[in-house]
Structure 1
Amino acid sequence: MTSIPTQSELSALALDTARRCGVDVDGLTGDVVTRSPINGQQVTTLGWRDAAYVDEAVGRAEEAFRAWRRVPAPARGALVKRFGELLAEHKDDLAVLVSIEAGKITSEARGEIQEMIDICDFAVGLSRQLYGRTMPSERAGHRLMETWHPLGVVGVVSAFNFPAAVWSWNTAVALVCGDPVVWKPSELTPLTSLACHAVLAQAIAEQGAPEALSQVLLGGPEVGQALVEHPGVALLSATGSTRMGRLVGPRVAERFGRSLLELGGNNAAVVSGSADLDLAVRGIVFSAAGTAGQRCTTMRRVIAHTSVVDELTDRLASAYGRLPIGNPMADGTLVGPMINQRAYDAMESAISAATGDGGKLVAGGGRALDDVAPDAFYARPAIVRMDAQTEVVARETFAPLLYVLPYDDFAGAIELNNAVPQGLSSSVFTSDQAEAELFLSPEGSDCGIVNVNIGTSGAEIGGAFGGEKETGGGRESGSDAWRAYMRRATNTVNFSGELPLAQGVDFTV
């Protein structure tokens, strides 16, 4: 029997841990109850901000921006460097809070905090590499160039499944680009958010930077909506469902703001007849069952060649049968709880729809540990064998639910991969170089992340993260994603003493 912490044990651990990170736990007052998915019981109560408070927060951020944009970028990088050092000091504490509030197993929770440390390292280097360009001018005695400048206040709306890392992707880069951040975190992970903010606040105080560079607003959807609609928010970075993105995108566009959207994913792996099945099974099981299927990059479809689909399905079902499900903070656990009953019910509904479409449930399904944790929702990761990609397969279900489909020719596999509204992550397992190159080519996967012989999840911060189609088109983290947080100016400098016009225009007065 898996031991599940009691309400008092988990609450005490969460509050003590938050206190060590610098959160004023004794000052938490209010009547909003927060719960842990580990046992489904109360962790603490706290108060929420209302929508009216957003205007005050953005006003403070705008004032901080006017000072921070004058600070040289390498000096801004020094703040982020210190933030990274403090994150390393509090890595274990922050990971505990992630586990308690999001239900992640310890190694994945620690991995999330390591992502925060890594993005700080990346951003520190970036602070000396915010490069513009010099272009040749067609006019003698002229210099043509572009420069990049701080953009303004960045609003961040984040989801429960990565309660710390996604905020840090935005914040570390925004800070070195010269922008303050106002953060509306998930209502489900408030202590993690407060702890992350407290760690950054310490770095800000030590560096003598404006206090309002970082603000966190605990509140309901109306607070997020106010942040989305506020004209003082230059860039709104939002992570969540496609449904949420359909609401956010137009509202930001209506006021001519910028949006960076990271939305749904319905990620697939193509497994060819030449694939190393040992490698494929390991990659698929982690991508599909890790984080209890609650990553945007979770693998939700396997498209396997008819020559290997039966064997692969059997091997996946066998591996699923051995997955340890339980308390995510206990040694040996690989699958923790789903976030709440609504998520579990959505999974069961999808399984029912898929089997109604002719699919066969070959592994998992149903609740686990309901006898020892009746208020929590531990799901058995499920595999459904399908003959065709039906409507339910093309729809993202945010759960540990994997569909296995067959294909006959590689072109058909690519077509199946692309035949969903989402376009976040994809992979191919193959030993055929031509297949790998085709999958990576313009005729291949239409996703923002396209991998070979690795699963769909587990992205590194050095590469830009994001997807196409209904995934939103945004890019965060590495590569040149920093450009979203800055404004570009094209400059022409005339040192000739004459005034020739471009394209040979003659306008002599």
Structure 2
Amino acid sequence: MRTTDARGEAASTAQTIASVVGGRTLEDAPGGRTESVNPAHKDETVAEVLLGDAGTFVQACRAAREAQGDWAAVPAPIRAQVVKKIGRIVESNKEALARLVTREIGKPYTEALGEVQEIIDTCDFFTGEGRRLYGQTVPSEMPDKQLFTFRVPVGVAAIITAGNFPVAVPSWYLIPALTCGNAVVWKPAEYSPAVGDALAKLFQAGGLPDGVLNVVQCEGPAAFEGLENALDEGLVDKVGFTGSSAVGGKIGELCGRHLQSPCLELGGKNPLVVMPDADLDLAVEGALFSGFGTAGQRCTSLGTAIVHESVHDEFLSRLTERIEGAKVGDPTDDAVLYGPMLSERFMDRFVDSLGMIEAHHTAHGSTGTGRITNDNPRENFVGDPEAGFFCHPTLVSGVKKGDDLFNTETFGPLVGVASFSSFEEAVDLSNAHGYGLSAAIYTRDATNALRFREGNRAGMLSVNNSTSGAEAHLPFGGNGKSGNGSRLSGIWVIDQFTRWQSMNWDYAGRLQKAQMDVADLPADLDFTLPE
């Protein structure tokens, strides 16, 4: 059938994609067949997908195991040159990849361009890290002996990622894992298979040997079963997962049975505190972007704005006005605040979450709630609401500690507002939901900012900025229900994809036993205290 791409230009018949294992595209579909559709134009098929099953996942892990040793033997600076080439190839295809992101998950095109830039930035960073996988030379307590430490690859990494950031987040795993000498089995989200396939092909074009990067297109339960079987068979040495806290807990339990610590990047209920001295216009701008960018479908999206009672009403009024005036709809229009939900499944889940709005809450900011349709319209909508999976932005005031809406990640365009009277109360509210991914505070007082940093338990904090946003050289990750303390990005992610190995080299010509044969101190050293 004929379709249109993200900019409305004529596109060819929907492509057929499948898993890639050991450098070979598989032609069977043991997991069945499915279609990926454009969430802004639900009648448009982006790709037809041949799905793998648990056996496909295990097969990919075996291929990775076979390829990993030769890849690890390539000097790290040379592996980094492959990463450098991948970055340049992605840069040359930036607009095309961003258009595909917009087409398959409905992310506004300008945001999609920024997401692709994250891949390029990560490649640039790890091009240098290939020359900096440093170990140490350590002094020994014995004579004629030297001690050393080395970073070595973990082996085979199994990576499972969500589709709200279908290229940026995978790059945070894939690029450092490959730079460090690991082979990878990657399962993209089932609702962004075409983007996953395109990204993998760009990586392969950089010169990766067959089997070093394997892509399994399958449903989530099949991937979990396959991962369990691969771990039982001893084929996987590290698991990376980005997704919900509930699934992350199951993966953590599975890895724990094999004495492995996974890299878990999970959900958030991220607070934004507004102090009485805040620049309110700036705080409103930050809340609008934090809460409604990408239709609230970020792990770092704003969950609850925690606003001092002296400025609560003014903040609520200004934010309501901004939401009412914001354009929503066609993601190819540069003026829209956000486009559709990622898929019909995410739309249905979000609409169900609106049931958490209680009698003591008040909804603001839109002409309706739930799905935007001709019968439930929104002013300032761009395009045809019936064509895709669009939802009203909703602002809910009167939220209190203990409310389901306060404690639950809604993953959609919904922001709660709570009030506080003291700084201590604000800090308590900012932690009370049990997540710990990101948090923000708006204040002109450095003391407030520093004390908030001390009191809040999130892994990432912002002062006078949004709860969202990441840079390639800064650690990304959370605590509590948001993760197990592991970090992506920067030099910190290297700890996820390498293990420390120590070596002692004794050239004394005789057996020296540490702690038993420690050399005596010189006799003339006096350790007595002066009188």
The TM-score normalised by the length of structure 1 is: 0.91
- Specify which of 409, 419, 422 is matched with residue 406 of structure 1: 419
2:372 is aligned with 1:368 = yes
The count of residues paired between Structure 1 and Structure 2 equals 490
1:391 paired to 2:404 = yes
Alignment partner of 1:66 is 2:69: yes
Q: For residue 367 of structure 1, give the secondary structure of its aligned residue in structure 2.
A: coil
Q: Cα offset for 1:97?
A: 1.1
Counterpart in the other structure of 1:9: 4
* Secondary structure in 1 matching 2:199: helix
The Cα of 1:370 is off from its aligned counterpart by 4.5
Q: In the alignment, what sits opposite 1:421?
A: 434
The alpha-carbon distance between structure 1 residues 452 and 188, as it changes in their structure 2 partners (threshold 3 A), is same
Give 1:375 deviation, angstroms. 5.3
* Correspondences of 1:142-291 after superposition (within 5 Å): 142-204=145-207, 209-229=208-228, 230=230, 231-291=234-294
Larger C-alpha radius of gyration, 1 or 2?
2
1:41 aligned residue (29, 43, 60) = 43
Deviates more, 1:83-92 or 1:493-502: 493-502
Q: CA deviation at 1:479?
A: 3.0
Letter in 1 for 2:365: A
Query: Please, which moves more after superposition, 371-380 or 388-397?
Result: 371-380
Q: CA–CA distance in 2 between the matches of 1:388 and 1:104?
A: 31
Pairing partner for 2:121 from 118, 121, 134:
118
Q: Which moved more, 1:364-373 or 1:139-148?
A: 364-373
C-alpha displacement of 1:396: 0.7
**1:497 alignment partner, SS class:** coil
Q: Which moved more, 1:150-159 or 1:364-373?
A: 364-373
Change (3 A) 1:282 1:16: farther
Aligned-partner SS, 1:211 = coil
CA change 1:131–1:15 in 2 (3 A) is farther
Q: Determine helix, strand or coil for the equivalent of 2:151.
A: strand
Q: SS of the counterpart of 1:336?
A: coil
The superposition leaves residues 346-393 of structure 1 with CA deviations (integer Å, 9 ceiling, x where unpaired) of: 43443342233x111122333335573425221121110025121221
Residues 58 and 233 of structure 1 are in contact (CA less than 8 Å); yes or no, is this contact kept in structure 2? Answer: yes
1:464, 1:14 → 2: CA distance?
39
Tell me if the contact between 1:28 and 1:45 (Cα under 8 Å) persists in the aligned partners.
no
* 2:390 match: 378
Query: What amino acid sits opposite 2:244 in the alignment?
Result: S
Distance in 1 separating the partners of 2:50 and 2:258: 30
Closer/same/farther in 2, CA of residues 387 and 184 from structure 1, 3 Å limit: closer
Q: Deviations over 1:396-452 (max 9, x none)?
A: 1111110111111111101100011211011111111111111122xx110111111
CA distance in 1, matches of 2:2, 2:406: 37
Decide whether the 8 Å contact of 1:39 with 1:373 is kept in 2. no
What is the CA–CA distance in structure 2 between the aligned matches of 1:464 and 1:15, rounded to whole Å? 40
Change beyond 3 A, Cα 1:15–1:70: farther
Match of 2:470 in 1: 459
Secondary structure, counterpart of 2:61 in structure 1: helix
Give distance in 2, aligned partners of 1:344 and 1:55.
32
After TM superposition, give the deviation of residue 111 of structure 1 in Å: 0.8
Instruction: Specify the alignment match of 1:439 in structure 2.
Output: 452
Alignment of 1:89-128 (within 5 A): 89-128=92-131
User: Residues 149, 347 of structure 1: CA spacing in aligned structure 2 closer, same or farther, 3 A cutoff?
Assistant: same
Equivalent position SS for 1:504: coil
For 2:142, the equivalent position in structure 1 comes to 139
Query: Which string of whole-angstrom CA distances, capped at 9 and with x for unpartnered residues, describes residues 283-308 of structure 1?
Result: 11111110000000001111111111
Q: Report the residue type matching 2:50 in the other structure.
A: G
- SS of 1:295's equivalent in the other structure is coil
- Residues 480-491 of structure 1: pairs in structure 2 closer than 5 A: 480-491=492-503
Contact 2:405-2:416 within 8 A present in 1 as well: no
1:450 alignment partner, one of 457, 461, 468: 461
Quote the offset at 1:64 in angstroms. 1.2
Out of 293, 304, 308, the residue aligned to residue 311 of structure 2 is 308
Separation in 1, partners of 2:163, 2:289: 20
Structure 1 residues 279 and 336: CA distance shift in structure 2, 3 A: same
Q: Which structure 2 residue ranges, 5 or more long, are not aligned?
A: 376-383, 519-531
Give the conservation status (yes or no) of the 8 Å contact 1:76–1:176: yes
Distance 1:501 1:164 in 2: 52
What's the secondary structure of 1:233's corresponding residue? coil
Query: Per the alignment, in what secondary structure is the counterpart of residue 172 of structure 2?
Result: helix
Checking the alignment, whether the CA contact within 8 Å between 1:264 and 1:296 is kept in structure 2 is: yes
Q: What TM-score, normalized by structure 2, do the two folds share?
A: 0.87
| Contact 1:14–1:97 under 8 Å retained in 2 | no
What is the rounded CA distance, in whole Å, between the counterparts of 1:313 and 1:79 in structure 2? 50
Q: Which residue of 1 aligns with 2:322?
A: 319
Structure-2 change in CA distance of 1:439 and 1:135 (3 Å): farther
Which SS does the other structure have where 1:162 is aligned? coil
8 Å CA contact 1:269–1:299 kept in 2: the answer is: yes
Shift of the 398–271 alpha-carbon distance from structure 1 to 2, 3 Å rule, reads same
Q: Does the 8 A contact of 1:18 with 1:93 survive in 2?
A: no
Instruction: Tell me if structure 1 keeps the 8 A contact 2:56–2:226.
Output: no
Question: Partners in 2 of 1:213 and 1:380 — Cα distance?
Answer: 43
Check conservation: 2:356, 2:404, Cα contact below 8 A: no
Distance change in 2, residues 1:393/1:13 (3 Å)? farther
CA contact (8 A) 2:354 2:370 kept: no
- Contact kept, 8 Å, 1:326 with 1:369, in 2: the verdict is no
Larger deviation: 129-138 or 494-503? 494-503
Residues of 2 paired with 1:300 and 1:218: CA distance?
31
Change (3 A) 1:481 1:17: farther
Query: Secondary structure in 1 aligned to 2:329?
Result: coil
Report the counterpart of residue 3 of structure 1 in structure 2.
none
Counterpart of 1:462, as a letter, is: H
2-structure distance, mates of 1:172, 1:497: 44
> What root-mean-square deviation, in Å, do the aligned CA atoms of Structure 1 and Structure 2 show?
2.4
**2:58 is the alignment partner of 1:55:** yes
Supply the distance in 2 between the matched residues of 1:465 and 1:228 (Cα, whole angstroms): 24
| Higher helix content, 1 or 2 | 1
Separation in 2 of the partners of 1:112 and 1:503?
A: 53
Paired residue secondary structure (2:137): strand
